Structure 1
Amino acid sequence: MTTASTSAAPGRATRADVAKLAGVSTAVVSYVTNAGPQSVAPATRKRVLEAAAALGYRPNAAARSLKTGATQLLGMVIPDATNLYFAELAVAVETAAVAHGFDLLVAHSHSSREREAQLMHSFTSRQVDGIIMLSTVADQSATTLGATKTPFVEFGCNIGTPGGLAFTVDHRAGAREGVQHLIEHGHTQIGLVVGPEMAGIAHSREVGWMDALAEAGLRRGPIFRADFSRAGGFEAGRALVESAAAPSAVFVASDVQATGVIRAAHEAGVRMPDELAIVSFDASPESEYTWPALTAMQQPIDEMAGAAVEAIVRLRLSKPAESRMFSTTLVRRASCGCPPTVAQ
């Protein structure tokens, strides 16, 4: 490679500077730095990359987006960054996005309608190529988004936003299977720990709990409502163990709540699963490391993330895309009374 110098300052070099140093055309530099649209011989590609590194050249993403109409960015809204289920899902979406040539911007809404609306406006003003929403409150913000031309998909539930696609699991069927598993262990009094509102995902999981009990001819156990958080689960768990009619088993609508329930049971001296068996929903990473480890309904996160990103790609190309509903899988661990498993 030639060692010709340039007057451009590091970090401010132009494509022409790189082309001159590498002995190629500016078009070839563009093909290398933008991964296409035409292929470049390996030796030439190496020469261009070495020249770019020597000059500190970085392609101007803003200028490129103005020219192509694409930013190669996706936006993702999650309600709670401390919930490992959402963190795991964000990683899966990022992996799928990178495979399609996109970077991912992740923002935390704190389950606030106002914050969600702000994030939607921020993402669309930055002209992201698509938005993935995990919303516990999305109604007005998603409806507003539906009026834009930005492709978007909903994760977790389908709130029926015009123009929106949903990628979710069958929460009702998953909850029913989880409760049925507790019934198979011989429990006849099964309580429920769930969110404070009978809406959306929480409602579907509550109905699944009711379905399983009705099918088995069992009366509904007590319901303990609390926030979808560790603190909420701890509050619900304390109410459960202090109840005069405490059930022998409980279905918990989320792993993050179940973590709090387990702490409350330990502090009260309640032996699990002998005195209180637990099945939860999500099978997030932390569920394998609670004590006892949580039996839980697992969502196919990687498959869901891949399908959601693929849908955005198709929508950007004006190709048809459809919503999808996935099935959950029961992961058996010690909290329900199944033999303990060793974490991998």
Structure 2
Amino acid sequence: MYSMTTSAMPAPRGPITRKDVARYAGVSTAVVSYVVNGGPKKVAPATEAKVQDAIRRLGYRPNAAARALKLGSSETLGLIIPDNTNPFFSLFAHAVEDAAEDLGYALVLSNSDGNLATERRNIKNLAARQVDGVLLASVLFEPDLEALETADIPSVLLNQDRDAPGFNSIGVDLAAGAKMAVQHLISHGHTNIGLAMGTNVSGTLDGREVGWREALRDAGLPEGPIIYSEFTRPGGYAAGQRLLASVNRPTAIFASSDMQGIGLLRAFHEAGVAVPGGMAIASFDGSVEAEYSWPPLTTVEQPVAAMAEAAVAALVGAGRGEKPRHRIFPTTLHIRQSCGCP
């Protein structure tokens, strides 16, 4: 007598359902659910293999919307950053994605392009998607999160060096990091140290500028020239050209981002100014690109992985539901050749 096997069964027509998978694998729909959701009950390896084979053969795709409705969670986090073409923010986004994945969450990434209106639009879009939390590297110190608060969606502010009352926030001590870099340039004998400082929408005084001023003051040195430009390669390039043309031309420069440092290098190379012989550079961020520039940039490195893990944990991990707090992480000075070290 002929016995029909699962491999001989015809594939059903129309959208594939959990019942189709269960029928094909010869199990209950509950078992299919356990396999798809990883629990709550364990499934024997041989049975799980049959279900996975049925899913693959039939092309079954679980209904994410139905699952979210059942669980009361989209199992998704949102991340808003100024620019994912910036290697530092790419590194940060990757670290957040890894941390979210470890807790079973997917990540939706959006760019604000450093624009306040775009940032607000992205926040509203994520709120409409009912994500489980939002991580925001805002252009403002205290951003407008009304859309998230109305939807009861928690958030964490990134890149915050000061406490923002009522918010969970993550950052590094910008002033301390900058001061450390400038002090290192001073240790090389430089007495005229300029600053290539990035601009921000909020117009607040950046901690990196504070640290630069403090290091010079503590050493009894006058402040060198300051050029304000964007936190980008073109911004650093323009700053480099202006610093070279300055009447009070410095012998060393602290750049507030690695991208500005890369732009400075191009400006100096084009002008025939040797780095570090004719001009020393130290920058801020610790991106991979700083390691592969020529010469490699001495940079203040931020602990991206640790910050990403803490930010995600505050939303959906061990820190979920706790009273909002501000967490500051230490920076380290990664010494390479651009400062004058061998």
Partners in 1 of 2:272 and 2:213 — Cα distance? 29
**C-alpha displacement of 1:28:** 1.0
1:304–1:316 CA distance, 2 compared to 1 (3 A): closer
Please state if 1:3 is matched with 2:7: yes
Partners in 2 of 1:156 and 1:201 — Cα distance? 14
Counterpart residue number, 2:248: 245
Describe how 1:305-324 pairs up with structure 2 within 5 A: 305-314=308-317, 318-319=321-322, 322-324=325-327
Please state if 1:229 is matched with 2:243: no
Q: What letter is aligned with 1:170?
A: D
2:152 counterpart SS class:
coil
Counterpart residue number, 1:342: none
2:7 counterpart SS class:
coil
**C-alpha displacement of 1:3:** 3.0
Deviations 1:17-56 (A, max 9, x none): 1111112111111111111222212111111100111111
1:208–1:311 CA distance, 2 compared to 1 (3 A): same
Partners in 1 of 2:320 and 2:176 — Cα distance? 34
How many aligned residue pairs are there? Answer: 338
Instruction: Decide which moves more: 160-169 or 212-221.
Output: 160-169
Unaligned runs of 5+ in 2: none
Asked whether the 8 Å contact 1:84–1:285 carries over to 2, the reply is: yes
Counterpart residue number, 1:110: 113
Please state if 1:17 is matched with 2:26: no
Partners in 2 of 1:44 and 1:144 — Cα distance? 45
1:225 counterpart SS class:
strand
Match of 1:41 among 29, 44, 50: 44
Please state if 1:327 is matched with 2:330: yes
Deviations 1:130-164 (A, max 9, x none): 11111223644335534541011011016765642
Q: Structure 1 length normalisation: TM-score?
A: 0.93
Instruction: Decide which moves more: 143-152 or 60-69.
Output: 143-152
Please state if 1:184 is matched with 2:205: no
Deviations 1:92-133 (A, max 9, x none): 110111110011111111111111111111101101111111
Q: What letter is aligned with 1:86?
A: F
1:136 counterpart SS class:
coil
Unaligned runs of 5+ in 1: 340-344
Describe how 1:140-289 pairs up with structure 2 within 5 A: 140-142=143-145, 144-157=147-160, 163-197=166-200, 203-289=206-292
1:161–1:118 CA distance, 2 compared to 1 (3 A): farther
Identity %: 47
1:49 counterpart SS class:
helix
1:59 counterpart SS class:
coil
Match of 2:68 among 51, 60, 65: 65
Partners in 2 of 1:316 and 1:335 — Cα distance? 40
1:26–1:321 CA distance, 2 compared to 1 (3 A): farther
Q: What letter is aligned with 2:321?
A: S
Partners in 2 of 1:159 and 1:190 — Cα distance? 26
